[in-house]
Structure 1
Amino acid sequence: MFNQSFTVSYPKNPAINLKVVPGHFTTNHFHTNSYLDLDNLKSSATIARSVAVELAAPYLTDTPADTIVCMEGTEVVGAYLAQELMKKGIAYINQVKDIYVVTPASNVHRKLIFHSNTQELIVNRNIILLVSSISSGITLYGALDCLSYYGGRIVGISALFNAFPERHKHKIHSLFTNVNIPDYQIFSPSECPMCKAGYKLDAIIVHDGYIKIQ
């Protein structure tokens, strides 16, 4: 299945593209029929800057932001996003200010926390949450719970990919959704049709890629 990959381009900017690998994959929480390779969007400086330009658009004129909280390796995009939001312009609400870019840590119980030296960037601050991919929503809601605990005010949520926007009560600004990848599906392991049909797992999806199962 790995040789059947294809690319989906962002309509407004074809240079921004997402590689989709069909197969039978598992994460810690669900099975899926596709692996979405978002690494190029997060690691290429040129592409990350273009991604940031697109993600900044909904916030430029009316969303005051103090801090961008980055999840799942989106720090490069987050830095460019902050730069875009601080652009000078008559209508730009965040000009002539500084915007911080931070990432939470995990404690021994795998709960998200902010260290003492970064908590002041969250408490009573206007926060834009930036995540790589939203499928089951576990990462998203874990981050939202963490920010709520520290008293951060969520003024925006952005994602490179959001599988099922209609399933979430929050408005999420996304580059790609299931509309771009109509065959994308996730399943609980006990209800996975590929497992029931006897198909073995192809790979395990991890934080920054996947591990093939031989």
Structure 2
Amino acid sequence: MDERLVDLRSSNYREARIKIMQGHFATQNSHINTYIDMSTVKCRQNNASVSAKALAEDYMLSFAVDTIVCLDETEVIGAFLAEELSHSYKTCLSFGNNISVITPEVNSMGQMIFRDNKIRMVEGMNVLILTDSITSGKTILQAIDSVVYYGGTVGGIAAIFSAVSKCAGIEVKSIFTSSDLPNYGYYSRENCPMCAKGQKLEALVNGFGYSQL
């Protein structure tokens, strides 16, 4: 696997980089032709810090962030992002905020929930949803529904990579976009051109990583 991974730097944030691999992969909601390896970005201190600084630029003056809801193991980036927003510039609307960084639990029904001890960090709060990758946007819509259910307001959506520009009418801010991966394709299981050609699935991928079949 490692020898097939290729470094890719963002066209807008040159210090930020990810690794990509071409092939036929299945996510929870779709089939994709490019696997994006986020492990370095999400797990290594320096890379996570660089990513957080890049994402923070879009939220300095847009709204005051009270809570960052982290999906798909983005808690390290979320902590750096909270630090960047609350301490970097006095002109930042979130300056001085004690920003909560939390992760929803997924119950046996597949619903995103917050336990009673964390509801206070969502209810009445301005929430920024952070994730690693957005393909179809279905998971983000689920997260938005959860935040709204618990009384929060979603003010923004941030991602390392996003194939979409909006979710539920909310603009998605990402370090990497489809313009950085012009050949990136995602398809429903029923309409996957790779399946139609008889190309076998290579791996299952999700926020935790890559599992070869």
TM-score interval for Structure 1 and Structure 2 normalised by the shorter chain: over 0.9
| Alpha-carbon distance in 2 for matches of 1:205, 1:40 | 16
Contact 2:127 2:153 in 1 (8 A): yes
User: How far off its partner does 1:35 sit?
Assistant: 0.5
TM-score by length of 1: 0.93
Whether the 8 Å contact between 1:2 and 1:21 is mirrored in structure 2 is no
What CA distance in whole angstroms lies between the structure 1 residues aligned with 2:101 and 2:42?
Answer: 15
CA distance in structure 1 between the aligned counterparts of 2:166 and 2:197, rounded to whole angstroms: 29
Does 2:173 align with 1:193? Answer: no
List gaps (5 residues or longer) in structure 2: none
Root mean square deviation of aligned Cα: 1.8
Corresponding position: 1:61 with 2:73: no
| Aligned residue runs from structure 1 range 55-94, under 5 A | 55-87=55-87, 89-94=89-94
With structure 2 as the length reference, what TM-score do the two structures score?
0.93
Q: Deviations over 1:139-175 (max 9, x none)?
A: 1101001011011111111011101326763201100
Mapped contact 1:161–1:177 kept (Cα < 8 A)? yes
Cα deviation, residue 31, structure 1: 0.9
The corresponding residue for 2:35 is: 35
Change (3 A) 1:23 1:121: same
Q: 2:78, 2:101 within 8 Å by CA — same for their partners in 1?
A: yes
Q: SS at 1:19's partner residue?
A: strand
**Structure 1: gaps (5+ residues):** none
Which stretch of the first structure deviates more once superposed, 2-11 or 28-37? 2-11
The answer as to whether partners of 1:21 and 1:35 remain within 8 angstroms in 2 is yes
The 5 Å alignment of 1:151-170 reads 151-165=151-165, 169-170=169-170
Q: What does 1:124-203 align with in structure 2 at a 5 Å threshold?
A: 124-165=124-165, 169-203=169-203
Dislocated runs of 4+, deviation >6 Å? none
Counterpart-to-counterpart distance in 2, 1:127 and 1:167: 15
Equivalent residue, structure 1, for 2:10 = 10
Distance 1:28 1:154 in 2: 24
* Counterpart Cα distance in 2 of 1:62 and 1:33: 34
Give the aligned partner of residue 208 of structure 2.
Answer: 208
In 2, Cα distance between equivalents of 1:161 and 1:81: 16
Give 1:123 deviation, angstroms. 0.4
Cα displacement (A) at 1:62: 4.2
AA aligned opposite 2:173: H
Deviation at 1:88, TM superposition (A): 5.3
What percent identity do the matched residue pairs reach? 34
TM-superposed deviation, 1:14:
3.1
Q: Which residue number in structure 1 is paired with residue 95 of structure 2?
A: 95
- Residue 167 and residue 144 in structure 1: after superposition, are their counterparts in 2 closer, same or farther (change >3 A)? closer
SS, match of residue 76 in structure 1: helix
